[in-house]
Amino acid sequence: MPPPAPAAQEPFAAACRRLGPRLMRDLGLSDLQAAGLLGNLGHETGGFRRLQEVAPAVPGSRGGWGLAQWTGPRRVAMEAWCRARGLDPADPEAGYGYLCAELRGTEASALAALRATTTLAAAAEAVWRRYERPGVVAPARRLAWARRALAALREAPVTPASGRP
């Protein structure tokens, strides 16, 4: 899906300003690396507007779900992780928690690859190659979303008391 027009980007930018500093803190990412991850997530979810994959690529499947559009066994694992903690899989905080748990656990090699990047393009590519592993890559679109995420992160006001936007 192509990135939205500027007016439609506001929810995406707001989500990036909310999630980016947390990803940097919780996963030890730079702003470029967090933007590479957020850009991929933005591409997968239409700018964080869709929890459920619109047209599942695998006929008869439930399709992708959540922040990273977890599919197949990864969707099942996300739902089990939420059940074990009494969380609603539709809750954005549950999605964030599972994203971090997965990147620290079964997808730790993807996190290591992301942390090794030094450019926005390399960060976006590390995420789609090592973490998302999509059937349709659409690299230009993912990088466009990552650029928008980085712009949002770099515009984010930080409150002195909390260090968070």
Say how far apart CA 144 and CA 141 lie, in whole Å.
Answer: 5
What six digits make up the tokens of 80? 């089990």
Percent of the chain at pLDDT > 90 equals 79
Q: What is the CA radius of gyration of the chain?
A: 15
Read off the amino acid at residue 25.
Answer: R
What six digits make up the tokens of 139? 């690299």
Other Cβ atoms closer than 10 A to 33 = 27
Say how far apart CA 48 and CA 72 lie, in whole Å.
Answer: 20
Burial class (CB in 10 A: 0-12, 13-18, 19+), 38: buried
Task: Give the pLDDT band (50/70/90) at residue 9.
Answer: low
Task: Give the pLDDT band (50/70/90) at residue 97.
Answer: very high
Percent of the chain at pLDDT > 70 equals 88
pLDDT in tens, 127-136: 999 999 998 8
14-31 average pLDDT score: 97
Sign, CA torsion 96/4/164/23: positive
